[in-house]
Structure 1
Amino acid sequence: MNVSSERLFKRIIIAILSLLCAVLILLCVILGVQNQRCRERLGGSAADPALADSSAQPLPPEVPVWQALYPELYADDTGRSTVNTDKVVYLTFDDGPSARTPEVLEILERYGVKATFFVAGRGDAQSMEWLRAIAQAGHTLGLHSYSHDYGQVYASVEDYLADCDALNTLIYDAAGTRPQVLRFPGGSINPYNAAIYPELTAEMLRRGFAYFDWNVSGMDTAVGGASAEEIREAALRGLEERRVFLLLHDSAGKQTTVEALPGIIEAYRAAGFSFDRLTVEVTPVVFGYVE
């Protein structure tokens, strides 16, 4: 091979090697860009060591939008679920206030009994006065529902919170107190809230409220009405319970509930039960969670 041919051959080899180096550098750049974009889509940066760790936890889910709603709709953080007394009756009255409320209050005062009223949204002057009377007598005022329209209340978590906030404000305006306890309309699990009750109950607990269902009912909403004796007999089915969370109603048509109340109190007292009102410290009774 002459000198000129040898020089040409070396130039060709150098050109080929240079081209290979350029291709390798270009491939590295392309792979680096793709890796960077992938990391950005995962929510990190190329320098984020957590992305290189196969044991890193997934990113937390978004906070539900309803957590930012209604900043006044919170219970005081005073502790919860510490009282679990044996042989106690928690009388609870739903759906008031009404013309029955003064009658119920008079009976409770006569027997020296405290109770809990899960009230609805009635903002007329007389109802506001009844709400004040409940609080002033030392009973517990609890949230139930402003509208008591199940379809509206349980349309979404946001709709439930709107209803609760309206009632919370009304009670505060009437009695100067903000409720700490609540009862979901129809109970914590019912056909109307089946799609949202896990989120609903979790959100109200997050806001510091204690919610209570019942384990004994006076059956005073029976179709066609119930007599005072029928209500009394139903209510006394709790005599075998260790703790009785008794559901009664305080709406205007419940005259027989008022008539049954003295006999209910007397029978439980004769069986050695005491009476108390609900607070956030009381260990609640709640319906079983359905998967």
Structure 2
Amino acid sequence: MNPEWESGESFHADEGKRGKASWFLTKVLLTLTAFVLVCASVVLAIRYDRMRETLNHLEKERALQAKEIGEGGQGSGKSAISKNKQNRPVVMEPSDAASLTGTVPKDGKHHVYLTFDDGPSVQTGKVLDILKQYKVKATFFVVGREDAKSIALYQRIVDEGHTLAMHSYSHDYAKLYVSLDSFQEDLHRLQNLLFDKTGVWCKYYRFPGGSSNTASKVSMKDLEAYLDREGIAYFDWNVYGGDGISAEVIVKNVTANVDKYKESVILLHDAADKRATVSALPGIIEYLQSQKDTEILPITEKSCPLIHTS
């Protein structure tokens, strides 16, 4: 074979190898560039979402402040906490509720708070009708529902001058209390829903099972601290109407215990199966209105949180 041919073939072979290597490097560089661009896009998307959440929160704060200035409304959560911290919270031993004497109202009156958990439901409208009939304002610790009837009830609670408060979105202990993150997600889902549907940025909360519950896998102190950071006041109760019992027994439970305290927070339920609450409510209100120096109030910034001890 001609040496010149061999030399030429060798040259072309080397050139081919260099070309393949160059193409391989180009592919690697293109792949790396694409990967970097994807990563950058993900980071930017995350930052954008966080900025959007922050802007949404600020927008809600501004809307709430505007509502407060224009109407006197339910106010802002931050101011509620700062004011409540100036008072000593009412502390209750769950095993010895009768030992609670409560705070002494400055006006010398017996303050009573009717609170309803687990709505909205078909019973909530009936409760609202009774409250309207007796010209009484109350507090509704609601759960998350997004059907049209429930949304209308959220709005009616606000429109009729009652306090709209939170009782968790899911009311599912297994999900709610599994971690601090799950608790936060649940709370904000409900808080955002209520704001979007009513314009009220809720600042009052009641733990499912109360703050002394033993179902939570997260320390209740951690959950309480989180609420405090968020400007949310939480309320327990010191008068319990009862659950799954007759209207007569509910009335008896309330009237037998409500006068033991200067500040009485009555726990009732307005879930769909709590017909007895509706039947008992007129008797409870009539008893309270017959008592000297007794005032039925909704929870507001002036209310001192009643807290169970763990």
* Structure 1 counterpart of 2:248, from 204, 229, 236: 229
Deviates more, 1:190-199 or 1:263-272: 190-199
| Aligned equivalent of 1:252 | 272
Deviation of residue 76 (structure 1)? 3.3
Deviation of residue 156 (structure 1)? 0.9
8 Å contact kept, 2:167–2:208: yes
* Structure 1 counterpart of 2:296, from 256, 262, 275: 275
After superposition, residues 140-151 of structure 1 pair within 5 angstroms as 140-151=163-174
Distance 2:302 2:229 in 1: 15
Gaps of 5+ in 1: 1-69
Deviates more, 1:186-195 or 1:267-276: 186-195
Deviation of residue 193 (structure 1)? 1.9
| Greater Rg by CA | 1
Q: Residue 155 in 1 paired to residue 178 in 2?
A: yes
8 Å contact kept, 2:180–2:218: no
* Structure 1 counterpart of 2:155, from 122, 126, 132: 132
Distance 1:250 1:169 in 2: 22
Distance 2:154 2:299 in 1: 16
Counterpart of 1:229 in structure 2: which amino acid?
E
| Aligned equivalent of 2:233 | 210
Counterpart of 1:77 in 2: which secondary structure? Answer: helix
8 Å contact kept, 2:210–2:236: yes
8 Å contact kept, 1:89–1:276: yes
| Aligned equivalent of 1:118 | 141
Task: Please report the RMSD computed on the Cα atoms of aligned residues, expressed in angstroms.
Answer: 2.0
Distance 1:165 1:281 in 2: 24
Counterpart of 1:179 in 2: which secondary structure? Answer: coil
Distance 1:88 1:205 in 2: 24
> Given the two structures, how large is their TM-score scaled by the length of structure 2?
0.66
Counterpart of 2:130 in structure 1: which amino acid?
I
Deviates more, 1:108-117 or 1:276-285: 276-285
Identity percentage of aligned residues: 41
Deviation of residue 238 (structure 1)? 1.2
CA deviation vs aligned residue, 1:76-124 (integer Å, no higher than 9, x gap): 3224226863401100000000001111111111111110000001100
CA deviation vs aligned residue, 1:230-286 (integer Å, no higher than 9, x gap): 010111121222111000001011111101001101111212211101123311110
After superposition, residues 40-119 of structure 1 pair within 5 angstroms as 72=57, 75-78=76-79, 79-81=82-84, 85=105, 86-119=109-142
Number of residue pairs aligned between Structure 1 and Structure 2: 217
Gaps of 5+ in 2: 1-52, 62-75, 88-102
Give the direction of change, closer, same or farther, for the CA distance of 1:231–1:283 in structure 2 (3 Å limit).
same
Between Structure 1 and Structure 2, the one with more helix by share is 2
CA deviation vs aligned residue, 1:131-189 (integer Å, no higher than 9, x gap): 00000001000011111100100011111010001101111122111101110111012
Counterpart of 1:254 in structure 2: which amino acid?
K
8 Å contact kept, 2:116–2:140: yes
Deviation of residue 194 (structure 1)? 5.7
> Given the two structures, how large is their TM-score scaled by the length of structure 1?
0.71
* Structure 1 counterpart of 2:260, from 237, 240, 243: 240
